[in-house]
């Protein structure tokens, strides 16, 4: 059998993506986690004032990204994926005046899923429970 016959008989290319992601979003991690779950880490690669198209918050529907599996649930973790995002406690530093800045980020793993938003230079990590198709 020649290479041409063989390549015509078999699929020579595979993509797990249903649709193309934005040029500004990168899949950093997609790996098996525990039974029927996957670790997914997404990154928004643009900086805040980098590009007119990319330097904004991008919202994507996770259910519309992958085709080899169906998503049952999704929960966000910290970057190291060793703690649920709502359980993360950040160190708070005080100046001598004990005044805190107004900026405080509130974390929650409850979302309008399956849509998630990524801000410029943000990396978000998720544990996804799936059924493989």
d(CA 40, CA 29): 5
Q: What is the pTM of this model?
A: 0.75
Peptide bond into 114 cis (omega under 30): yes
Return the biggest CA–CA distance within the chain: 80
Topology of the domain comprising 16-132: Immunoglobulin-like (2.60.40)
The SS3 of residue 9 is helix
- Which residues pair with residue 123 across a beta bridge? 43
Domains in the chain: boundaries: 16-132
Tens digit of each residue's pLDDT (9 = 90 or more) over 39-86: 999 999 999 888 788 889 999 988 888 888 888 889 999 999 999 988
Question: pLDDT per residue over 74-130, tens digit each?
Answer: 999 999 999 998 888 877 777 776 555 544 444 444 455 678 899 999 999 999 999
């Amino acid at each position: 059998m020649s290479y041409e016959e063989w390549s015509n008989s078999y699929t020579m290319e595979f993509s797990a993506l249903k649709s193309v992601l934005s040029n500004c979003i990168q899949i950093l991690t997609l790996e098996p986690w525990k039974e029927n779950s996957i670790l997914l880490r997404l990154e928004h690669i643009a900086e805040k004032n980098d590009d007119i198209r990319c330097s904004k918050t991008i919202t994507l529907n996770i259910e519309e990204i992958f085709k080899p599996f169906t998503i049952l649930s999704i929960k966000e973790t910290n970057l190291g994926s060793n703690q649920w995002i709502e359980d993360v406690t950040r160190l708070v530093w005080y100046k001598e005046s004990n005044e805190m800045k107004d900026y405080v980020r509130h974390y929650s793993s409850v979302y309008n899923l399956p849509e998630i938003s990524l801000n410029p230079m943000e990396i978000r990590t998720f544990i996804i429970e799936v059924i493989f198709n």
